[in-house]
Amino acid sequence: MRPGELHERHRAALPAWLSLYYERPIELVRGEGFRVWDSEGNEYLDFFGGIVTTISGHAVPEIVEAVKEQAERILHSSTLYLIESQVRLAEKLISLSPISGEQKVFFVGSGSEANEAALLFATQYRGSSEVIALRGSYHGGSFGTMGITGQSSWRPTPRTALDVSYAMPPHRSYSPLYGRFGDPEELARACAEDVRSLIETSTTGRVAAFIAEPIQGVGGFIELPPAYLSRVKEILEEHGVLFVSDEVQTAFGRTGSHFWGIERSGVEPDLITMAKGLGNGLAIGAVMGRAEVIDSLSPKLHISTFGGNPVSTAGALANLEYILENDLQRNAEEVGSYLKERLLGLAAEHASVGEVRGRGLMLAVELVREGAPDPQAAAAFMEACRERGVLVGKGGLKGNAIRISPPLTVTREAAEEAARVFDEALS
């Protein structure tokens, strides 16, 4: 194929709105650990992991073997039949769950479907279509999840049937209250009271669920402070509202300090949704949580053809074992702390770097010009990193946050190499 031909054919055959990274888009054809190669033979450090997904790295022999072995036996049977790897994966997830009491797991094919199912369970259980989400949130690309996403750029008009109210997270990107409180905990408490006010004054009072990402992903890796989440949880309990933790990006040790993102706050959610890192690239998602809530659907109301597919569950099991056996969470903590230090160092040296935030291997750097968000600088930074062999992601409400989320196997040496490239790209 001549250079540029695949891009032309992509443009002709795929939707115009399906955006690609880079002026000259890349086709990745091979990966190994935290390195990837494109069709022209260029090598890169993969510091975005296919949108925060490749958590154990590319071509991990144990995962490849499990997928191959299962694919050779049977690819598909559906939720109408017993699937051993599906049951084992559900049991494994429950054994790792931060939720107490009897639990169930329902498998789907993606993060959007996982949130869609969680919304279904919560609305059926509570007999209400009212949901509270957060400004700046992202919950998926399906009709229902787009309808609750707290960023207008990711939300269609007209909206969906769900009745959503948006609460204000305690971060300067959203809160007009930011800066009025000396103590961040005071701001966190004030923002939590906003949730109470929504329940008591803007809804019927019978809200089905509050949904939040412990660290907002697409929103630019904005962490919700533990004090906020724990206060919100108390308010929700007073009103019987379910807490859904969208862990599509924050699960499985990604945040370093904990296996699930929500654990840092000490909050026990009612439901957890997950995808991305669960399958290390295989198409799988799940909702896990209180059996009483998940079992509340009428019999046969719901079914999923691909949910808990033999290949994706066999691969996800091997992936989870790999994460646990190699203590990838600890590596995320160690290499993540080192990399964050380096990013803070860059912020001190380059006026174009604004806030550095995140934890573990979920780190973001805001690019600014005279203190204001600078999306052009973010795009130029990404191109400069690509030329120097590092792939990173982009996000944030203003498109100026660089998102850094390599596989959790990444070494300190690779992080050092990437930091050197970031320094050059900023210069």
Classify residue 83 by burial, with Cβ atoms within 10 Å: 0-12, 13-18, 19+: buried
Site membership for ligand PMP, residue 218 (CB under 6 A): yes
Closer CB to ligand PMP, 391 or 421, in the complex: 391
Binding track over 113-152 against ligand PMP, x by CB under 6 A: --x----------------------xxxx-----------
Do 354 and 341 meet the contact criterion of CB atoms below 8 Å apart?
no
- Judged by CB under 6 A, the chain residues 366 through 385 that form the site for ligand PMP are none
Site membership for ligand PMP, residue 110 (CB under 6 A): yes
Q: Smallest distance from the beta carbon of 112 to ligand PMP, in angstroms? A: 3
Structure tokens at 345: 């160092």
Site membership for ligand PMP, residue 392 (CB under 6 A): no
Q: Smallest distance from the beta carbon of 140 to ligand PMP, in angstroms? A: 4
Structure tokens at 319: 């992936």
SS3 401: strand
Q: Smallest distance from the beta carbon of 41 to ligand PMP, in angstroms? A: 30
Q: Smallest distance from the beta carbon of 182 to ligand PMP, in angstroms? A: 31
φ, ψ of residue 19 in degrees (nearest 5)? -80, 150
Q: Which residue is nearest to ligand PMP (CB)?
A: 111
- Judged by CB under 6 A, the chain residues 224 through 253 that form the site for ligand PMP are 246, 248-249
Structure tokens at 182: 């000396």
Q: What DSSP string describes 337-389?
A: HHHHHHHHHHHHH-TTEEEEEEETTEEEEEEEETTEE-HHHHHHHHHHHHHTT
The pairing of strands 209-212 and 242-246 is parallel
Site membership for ligand PMP, residue 309 (CB under 6 A): no
Among 49, 136, 217, 360, binds ligand PMP (CB under 6 A): 217
Residue 43: CA atoms inside 13 Å, Cβ hemisphere, count?
4
Closer CB to ligand PMP, 401 or 425, in the complex: 401
Helix 328-349 × helix 310-325 angle, to 10°: 70
Closer CB to ligand PMP, 113 or 374, in the complex: 113
Within 10 angstroms of residue 120's Cβ, the number of other Cβ atoms is 19
Among 191, 275, 286, 362, binds ligand PMP (CB under 6 A): 275
Among 31, 50, 57, 111, binds ligand PMP (CB under 6 A): 111
Q: What are the angstrom distances between the C-alpha of 403 and each of 46, 364, 382, 395, 412? A: 12, 5, 10, 7, 18
Classify residue 295 by burial, with Cβ atoms within 10 Å: 0-12, 13-18, 19+: exposed
Site membership for ligand PMP, residue 271 (CB under 6 A): no
- Judged by CB under 6 A, the chain residues 24 through 83 that form the site for ligand PMP are 51
Q: Smallest distance from the beta carbon of 145 to ligand PMP, in angstroms? A: 7
Interface ranges with ligand PMP (CB under 6 A): 51, 110-112, 115, 138-141, 213, 217-218, 246, 248-249, 275
